[in-house]
Chains A and B, each alone.
Chain A
Amino acid sequence: MTQQDKQLVPGGKAADRMLGPPIVMIEKVCKSFGENHVLRDVSLTVRQGEVVVICGRSGSGKSTLLRCIDQLETIDGGTIRAAGHLMGFRERNGKRQPLRDAEIAVQQRDLGMVFQNFNLFPHISVIENITLAPVRILKRKRAEVREEARELLKRVGLPDKENAYPRQLSGGQQQRVAIARALAMKPKVMLFDEPTSALDPEMISEVLDVMTGLSEQGMTMIVVTHEMGFARAAADRVILMHDGGIVEEAAPEKFFGNPESEHTRLFLSKILHH
C-alpha cells in the first residue's frame, strides 16, 4: 500500500475529519531483544488527526512498536520521525548520531503515552501528577498549570479528585488521570498501550469515552487495543501485527468485513468468539 492509497482508504473516519500532513513516519524499523526479532521492517505513516488502532495477539510486538516510537526502547534499524523529530538521533551531513538522554527527553515531551498499568506517580496527589512535568520540566507557572490541570480533570470526568492519591482511585479513574497527565504536556501525538486491558469490564467504557472525545477533538492517536467497538467507532485505520510485522492495514469496515490476511480472519474469529 502506498502513502497515496492510505489517504484514500474508503469509509474511514478520515472522511468526516480533516487529516493533516504525516506526523508519524516509521520506516523499516527493526528491533531485537537478543536473538528475539521483535520488530521486522515495520513501516507506518500516521497523519495529523488520524486515529490508528493496532491489534494482534500477545507477543506480536505492539508494545515494543509504541515504546520505540516514544524512545522508551532504542531501535536497531530504520527511522522514526514523530512530531517533527527524528526520534533518538540527530542528522548531521547525512550522518546519524544517537542523542543523549537529555536530548531524547526533549523529543519525548511532544509525545504522550498511556500505559496498561497506568503508572501514575503514587507518592503525589492527582493534581500533582498532572502538574509535575509542566511545572518542573517546562518550568511553566504553577498557578497557570494548575488551572489547566483542573480543566483536564473536568475533561476526563474527575473534577472532584484533584487532592486524592492514586491509590484511592479505581482503575478506570487512574487511567483517566494518566490520560490527563499526558495531555498536560500538550503532546502532538498520543500513544495508548492497551489502556483498558487491566480494567474491570464496567470501567472500560469510561476510559474509551475519554479517548473517543479526544479523537473527535482532532488528537493524533495510535492505540493498541482489543476493544473492537472502539476501533469501529473511532479508528481511521486498523492494523494487525503478527510476528513483528504489519500484516493487515485497512479502514475499520474493510478490516472487520473483508480482511485480506488469513491472520486477520483468525484473529477476529478468536476475538469475536471470546
Chain B
Amino acid sequence: MNWSWDFFFAYLTNGLMLRGAWTTIWLSVISMIIGLGLGVVAAMMKMYGSRALRWIAEFYIWLFRGTPILIQLVIIYTGLPQLGIRLTVIESAIIGLALNEGAYLAEVIRSGIMSVDKGQTDASRAVGMTWRQRMWLVILPQATRTIIPPLGNQFNGMLKTTSLASVISMEELMRSAQMLAQIEFRVLESYTVAAVWYLVLVSIWGLIQMRIEAHYEKPFGPAAAVSPEARRDLEKALEKAGPA
C-alpha cells in the first residue's frame, strides 16, 4: 500500500488547498447571488411578462438547462474571444455558473410564487398595494418559505459544480488538487483532500441551511406554538370556508 497519511495531513492545510477552498466559497456565493437575481427576473418575465418577454425567458431557461455546464463554461471562456468578447477566467466562471444557476432557479422561484395563496393578492390589493409593492412586501417573502429548501439544495450543488470551472483554469479546490498532484505525484492524497474539503464545506452549509429554514418557518411552524384551541379552530375554519 502506498497511501501516506503524512501527505494527506500536510495537504489538508496546504496553502494551495486553502486558497482553493476559499475560492470555491466565494465563487459559489457570488454565482449563487447573481443566479438568484437572474432566476427572479426570468421567473417574473415568464409569469407576468409580455409575450416577447415570456419567450425570451423560456428560451433562456431552455438553453441553459438543455446544455452541459461544462460546454457553457468552455464556450464563454475559449469560444467567445472568437467573437471579440474576451473575459477573464474569473469573469467567465462567474457568468457561466450564474447563467446556469439562474435557469434552474427560475423554475424554483416560479413554483414558490405560485404556492402563495390567492387570498394574499386580494388582501394586499385591498389595502392599496401596487403590483410591485405586493410582490415585494407580501408575495415574495411568503414564496421565500417555499423556495428556501430547494434553494439550499441548489447551493449545495453549486459548491460542487464550481469544480467544473477548473477546466477553464479557475483556481478553486479541484484545480488546486490537480496542481498539487502534479508536484509530488501524490494523486490519491491530493484528490482525497479536495474531496474532504468539499465534504466540510457542504456540511457547514447544511448547518447554516437548517438555521435559515428554521428562521423562515418561525411564523408558520410549531415554533410559533399554536394553541390547541387555535389549531382546532383554524382547521374547522378552513374546512368550512372551502375554496375561497
Contact = CB atoms under 8 A, between A and B. Distances in A.
A98 B137 CA distance: 26
Nearest to A114: B126
B225 to A, nearest CB: 7
A87 B116 CA distance: 27
B219 A123 contact: yes
Interface stretch (B38-46, B84-92, B128-136): B128-136
A125 B220 CA distance: 11
- For A119, A200, A203, the residue with the greatest tally of chain B CB atoms inside 10 Å of its CB is A119
A134 B196 CA distance: 52
A108 B121 CA distance: 13
A137 interface: yes
A247 B241 CA distance: 26
Interface stretch (B62-70, B199-207, B227-235): B227-235
A198 B128 contact: no
Interface stretch (B97-105, B138-146, B169-177, B179-187): B138-146
Contacts of A185: 127-128
B240 interface: yes
B125 interface: yes
Contacts of B226: 167-168
Interface string A175-218: 00010011001000000000001111001000000000000000
Interface size class of A (residues with CB under 8 A): 35 or more
A185 B122 CA distance: 16
A105 interface: yes
Interface of A: 67, 70-72, 101-102, 105-109, 111-113, 115-117, 119-125, 132-133, 136-137, 165-173, 178, 181-182, 185, 197-200, 203
Given A136-B137, A167-B219, 16 more contacts: A72-B122, A101-B131, A102-B131, A109-B127, A121-B142, A122-B142, A132-B127, A133-B128, A137-B128, A165-B220, A166-B219, A185-B127, A197-B241, A198-B237, A198-B241, A200-B237
Interface of B: 117, 119-120, 122-131, 133, 137-138, 141-142, 145, 218-220, 224-227, 229-230, 233-234, 236-238, 240-241, 244
15 contacts: A108-B127, A109-B127, A116-B241, A116-B244, A117-B119, A119-B119, A119-B120, A121-B120, A123-B219, A124-B141, A167-B234, A168-B224, A171-B233, A171-B237, A200-B237
